[in-house]
A and B are shown apart, each in its own frame.
Chain A
Amino acid sequence: GAGVSQSPSNKVTEKGKDVELRCDPISGHTALYWYRQSLGQGLEFLIYFQGNSAPDKSGLPSDRFSAERTGGSVSTLTIQRTQQEDSAVYLCASSLYGRQGTNIQYFGAGTRLSVL
């Protein structure tokens, strides 16, 4: 019955370091989304997973960003060689079904990433 869980809640890192952000979706949800929310901005789509299908990576801003979803459940977003412009809140959402529009996405509280 738990909601979407993200960890860590806050991450401070030095420029050039790699970081991993974790998302535990709601149990039984087949679809999982990652978004980035910069200060004062809307949500920027990053990547979408649906079941065992190939992920939709069309929103990843550069090849420094990658994500995996293991066993159709937990997902990890990895940012390599972090830059200051990567500082943002990274939000994860899951939904029961993956079909567009039928989704109601349930969001985690996010990971606030600060790159010094």
Chain B
Amino acid sequence: AQKVTQAQTEISVVEKEDVTLDCVYETRDTTYYLFWYKQPPSGELVFLIRRNSFDEQNEISGRYSWNFQKSTSSFNFTITASQVVDSAVYFCALSGNTGNQFYFGTGTSLTVIP
């Protein structure tokens, strides 16, 4: 089965705190891609990152970092020194090498309190 689980439904943090959003995936494909998207209150999903299954290097982009671990089938997302503008719903998604579907998790709603 292809599945993405985001167990954290809602998270609230105080501004400047670090926060990690969890993503666990299931797939039978040997080649697959993982994505994170941000959905601000305006509703339009914004692409953040794509990672393929052969590249387990962690990635950092400014205050954002991603930790990909195939051994635990996880692709977690950390925001360092959170800001109010980070408040949004964050979705993790999986795309395998069979079929055309992307599989999205149910999202984590992050609220950053000033």
Give the interface of A toward B (CB within 8 A).
Answer: 3, 33, 35, 40-43, 45, 48, 50, 56, 58-59, 89, 91, 93, 98, 100-110
* Minimum Cβ distance to chain A for residue B9 (Å): 8
Taking A100-B95, A100-B96, A101-B95 as contacts, is the C-beta distance between A45 and B101 under 8 angstroms?
A: yes
Q: Which residues of A contact B31 (CB under 8 A)?
A: 101
- CB within 8 Å of A: which of B1-17? 4
A59–B103 CA distance with the chains assembled, in angstroms: 11
B72 at the interface (CB under 8 A from A): no
Using CB atoms, name the residue of chain A closest to B37: A107
B44–A109 CB distance below 8 A: yes
B44–A108 CB distance below 8 A: yes
List the 6 closest pairs (A to B, CB-CB), nearest first: A101-B33, A107-B45, A43-B104, A42-B106, A42-B104, A48-B100
Q: Which residues of A contact B95 (CB under 8 A)?
A: 100-101, 103
- CB within 8 Å of A: which of B79-106? 91, 93, 95-106
* Minimum Cβ distance to chain A for residue B110 (Å): 15
B43–A89 CB distance below 8 A: yes
Of A33, A89, A104, A109, the contact of B47 (CB 8 Å cutoff): A104
Taking A42-B105, A45-B102, A101-B32 as contacts, is the C-beta distance between A107 and B97 under 8 angstroms?
A: no
